[in-house]
Amino acid sequence: MKKTVDHILTAKDLSPTGKPRDWMLKLKTDIERRRGVKIVVRDTLAKSPVYARIYRGHWIADCDVCGGAMFVSPDDPVFFCVECFNKKDNGKLRPIIFPDNRQEIERAILERPVNEFAGVTESERAGRASITAGGQVFTRDWMPGETAEMIREQNAVINGLLKKRGK
């Protein structure tokens, strides 16, 4: 299968300027305008980190306070939740913990066989990239605690199911 999305997408990919913080600040401004509220973002780091994970081909982090999730980037590992506005941390940015072997994990996830042609934009294609094998739907997801070897083992199972199906 030809690859149309050759990397795990980040907030940097979603930013019109290529800068993750610009994308985050644009979201903040849009929310302020739509909701008629003032949101304070302090450009200092809080002490409470969040953990990055891959969801459908995108790096995201989940807010452990309200359950919101945001696209994030290892190039600028800071988190600001657009649901609770990091109020617990007085609007301070929260550091993001990415795995030490992030690139190895990304390579293993990108080896996963998926149909990545659905969708118009790169983000849509990454988000819709999946394949059904053995009655299960497989996507490009990774959770903290999973090793690159575990991902490769999952990929081998998927490939085995696809061979049984004759694909």
Both 117 and 79 in a single domain?
Answer: no
- pTM, two decimal places: 0.90
Both 52 and 75 in a single domain?
Answer: yes
Among 73-77, 112-116, 132-136, 163-167, whose mean pLDDT is lowest?
A: 163-167
Q: What is the pLDDT of residue 56?
A: 94
Both 15 and 71 in a single domain?
Answer: yes
Q: Residue 1: pLDDT above 70?
A: no
Both 15 and 92 in a single domain?
Answer: yes
Cα 77–chain centre separation: 12
The answer to the question of residue 6 being in a domain is no
Exposed (0-12), middle (13-18) or buried (19+): which is 4, by Cβ within 10 Å? middle
- Please give the Cα distance from 63 to 82 (Å, whole number): 10
Q: Residue 162: pLDDT above 60?
A: yes
Contact 8, 121 (CB under 8 A): no
Q: What is the pLDDT of residue 120?
A: 82
Distances (CA, A) of 13 to 5, 46, 73, 77: 12, 25, 9, 14
pLDDT tens for 85-94 read: 999 999 999 9
Tokens of 52: 């990055």
Both 92 and 113 in a single domain?
Answer: no
Query: What's the mean pLDDT in 87-114?
Result: 95
* Of residues 76 and 1, more confidently modeled: 76
Tokens of 65: 């306070």
pLDDT tens for 20-54 read: 988 888 899 999 999 998 998 998 999 999 999 99
Q: Residue 4: pLDDT above 90?
A: no
pLDDT tens for 130-143 read: 888 888 898 999 99
Question: CA-based Rg of the chain, rounded to a whole angstrom?
Answer: 18
Query: What's the mean pLDDT in 88-102?
Result: 96
The answer to the question of residue 1 being in a domain is no
Both 55 and 127 in a single domain?
Answer: no
Q: Residue 167: pLDDT above 80?
A: no
- Please give the Cα distance from 152 to 124 (Å, whole number): 24
Q: What is the pLDDT of residue 164?
A: 84
Distances (CA, A) of 93 to 55, 85, 165: 22, 9, 48
SS3 29: helix
- Please give the Cα distance from 8 to 43 (Å, whole number): 26
Its domain, for residue 124, covers 102-165
State the chain's mean pLDDT as an integer: 90
SS3 52: strand
